Amino acid sequence: MKKVLVLCSAVVVALAFMAASSIHSVSEGVDVGDIAPDFNLMNVDGEMISLSDYKAEEGHEAVKGFIITFTCNTCPYAIMYEDRLIELHNKMAPMGWPVVAIQPNDPSVKPGDSMDKMKERATEKGFPFVYLMDEGQKVYPKFGAERTPHVFLLDTDRKVHYIGAIDDSARDPESVTRNYVVDAISAIEKGNTPDPVSTKAIGCSIKTKK
Amino acid sequence: MQRFWMVIFLLVSFTFGCQSSGETDQVEQAEKKPKPLYVSYEKFDDIAPLFNKNNDTTYVINFWATWCKPCVEELPYFEDLYAAYSDKKVKIILVSLDFPNQIESKFIPFLEERQLGPDIALLLDGDANTWIDRVNPEWGGAIPVTLVYKNEASTFHSTQFASFDELEEIVKEIL
């Protein structure tokens, strides 16, 4: 009898998992715990970048994960985070967690987000991280990015550990009380689950042709 | 028996007490006085009652900012709605998420130039993670978004309106 019970509960659990995964496959984008897709996108220096062959800079620790950040030139919120994104990369990349910035807007809708303008901005600000064009806007929907800026924190297996904002005070770096991304990375490094695993923030919609 | 009446008395006084101490609402208060250019809210809690009204008015609440191009593009539709539904129980509130350091330089000049019909609220609460879900759990945080509701019936529109008709259709469904 006991065996039958165990079997039954196993079947129920299995069915529940199947139901859950089938629901999930309907929704676009990745959730925390999912494996994010890799990509092959052009950097502002003309090089094609994939996560699978991402090389750590000299003197940096081997890559442990990526701070994938959907951002752009034109959104005031993205601009407010530029300096903090530079700071984040300079702090975390040597520890194995580089920022990988992806520009998801359609440049025909937002001319300020063309590859030429991205190059200009990257040079002006001296971006220390790669700044990739989501050519054809194929990557951001697979991640489920909804706004700029929008962060997805992945390990090298591309497992998603955190989705959301960089910190809790977009408008004023002085008033930041929680550095969500930095805190999430230190939780992962200790073998813990980040808390929170996701946050929401105000941002600009990703610009597509109507 | 005495205890029974005591309980009834307490219940009645509690119920009435709650009603009379109903939360104040700056948006409604603003109606009675000459209309201010905008009403500002430091914390989401201050504006939260706006999202939980139980009456026969349809509330059209749009989140926007002067820095958000698609938001500014769709403002005329809310102006048209304001004009077309002035005799109906429809209340339009445009909640701005303009930056605190651009109120004098950008936000106020914009309002003075446009002289918008709908009420303007300015929400200054920068910790958006704590309040985005309280507006609507479907909201990812990008603007513009528009919430239309009356009592329990509501629609959440998370993209820019393409036309006045598109906006009016949603309002009509709830009205």
CB contact under 8 A, B140 and A200: yes
- Whether B93 has a pLDDT exceeding 80, the answer reads yes
User: For A152-192, what is each residue's pLDDT tens digit?
Assistant: 999 999 999 999 999 999 988 999 999 999 999 999 999 99
- Measured CA to CA, the distance from residue A105 to residue A135 in angstroms comes to 9
B141 lies in some domain: yes
Q: How confident is the model at residue A115 (pLDDT cuts 50, 70, 90)?
A: very high
> What percent of chain B stands above pLDDT 70?
81
In Å, how far is B101's CA from the nearest CA of chain A?
Answer: 9
The total number of residues shown for chain B amounts to 175
Write out the DSSP string of A59-122: TSPPP-EEEEEE--SS-HHHHHHHHHHHHHHHHHGGGT--EEEEE-S-TTT-GGGSHHHHHHHH
Q: CA nearest A167 in B: which residue?
A: B127
The arithmetic mean of pLDDT across residues A41-67, rounded, is 95
Q: Is A154 in contact with A188 (CB distance < 8 Å)?
A: no
Indicate the number of domains in chain B.
1
* A204 contacts on B by Cβ (under 8 Å): 68, 142-143
- Measured CA to CA, the distance from residue A94 to residue A63 in angstroms comes to 9
| B105 CB within 8 Å of a chain A CB | no
Mention every residue, 6+ apart, whose C-beta is less than 8 A from residue A194: A153, A161, A162, A180, A183, A184, A187, A188
B29 lies in some domain: yes
CB nearest B128 (choices: A172, A201, A206): A201
What tokens were used for A9?
A: 């509960």
Mention every residue, 6+ apart, whose C-beta is less than 8 A from residue B89: B56, B57, B58
Whether the complex's predicted ipTM surpasses the cut of 0.85: no
- CATH code for the domain in which residue B168 is found: 3.40.30.10
Q: How confident is the model at residue B6 (pLDDT cuts 50, 70, 90)?
A: low
Give the residue with greater pLDDT, B129 vs A4: B129
Contacts 24+ apart (CB under 8 A), A11-19: none
B6 lies in some domain: no
Report the pLDDT value the prediction gives residue A4, as an integer from 0 to 100.
57
Q: How confident is the model at residue A6 (pLDDT cuts 50, 70, 90)?
A: low
The residue extents of the domains of chain A are 29-205
Q: Is B59 in contact with B148 (CB distance < 8 Å)?
A: yes
| B99 CB within 8 Å of a chain A CB | yes
Residue of B129, B159, B161 to mutate when probing chain A, most A C-beta within 10 A = B129
B15 lies in some domain: no
B12 lies in some domain: no
B5 lies in some domain: no
The arithmetic mean of pLDDT across residues A67-92, rounded, is 97
* B128 contacts on A by Cβ (under 8 Å): 165, 170, 200-202
The arithmetic mean of pLDDT across residues B112-129, rounded, is 96
Could you list the residue range(s) of the whole structural domain that residue B107 is in?
A: 25-174
- Whether B130 has a pLDDT exceeding 80, the answer reads yes
- Measured CA to CA, the distance from residue A115 to residue A121 in angstroms comes to 10
B149 lies in some domain: yes
User: For B163-174, what is each residue's pLDDT tens digit?
Assistant: 999 999 999 999
| B126 CB within 8 Å of a chain A CB | yes
| B143 CB within 8 Å of a chain A CB | yes
Strand order in the sheet with B119-123: B39-41, B119-123, B90-96, B58-64, B145-150, B153-157
- Measured CA to CA, the distance from residue B24 to residue B30 in angstroms comes to 11
The arithmetic mean of pLDDT across residues B105-119, rounded, is 97
Under CATH, which number does the domain A29-205 receive?
A: 3.40.30.10
Report the pLDDT value the prediction gives residue B35, as an integer from 0 to 100.
84
Q: CA nearest A80 in B: which residue?
A: B99
Report the pLDDT value the prediction gives residue A15, as an integer from 0 to 100.
47
- Whether A200 has a pLDDT exceeding 90, the answer reads yes
The arithmetic mean of pLDDT across residues A52-63, rounded, is 92
Pairing outcome for strands A99-103 and A65-70: parallel
Q: Is B97 in contact with A74 (CB distance < 8 Å)?
A: no
Closest CA relative to residue A149, chosen from A28, A62, A67, A40:
A67
- Measured CA to CA, the distance from residue B66 to residue A158 in angstroms comes to 37
CA distance readout (Å), A64 to A67, A105, A190, B77, B87: 10, 28, 13, 49, 62
Q: Is B116 in contact with B105 (CB distance < 8 Å)?
A: no
Strand partners, B66: none
CB contact under 8 A, A200 and B142: no
Would you tell me the crossing angle of helices B69-84 and B164-174 to the nearest 10 degrees?
60
Mention every residue, 6+ apart, whose C-beta is less than 8 A from residue B147: B51, B59, B60, B61, B62, B135, B136, B154, B155, B156, B157
Half-sphere exposure of B55 (CA within 13 A, CB side): 11
Residue of A80, A202, A209 to mutate when probing chain B, most B C-beta within 10 A = A202
What's the whole-number average pLDDT of chain A? 90
Enclosing H/E stretch for B165: helix B164-174
- Measured CA to CA, the distance from residue A108 to residue A123 in angstroms comes to 22
Give the residue with greater pLDDT, B3 vs B48: B48
- Whether A38 has a pLDDT exceeding 70, the answer reads yes
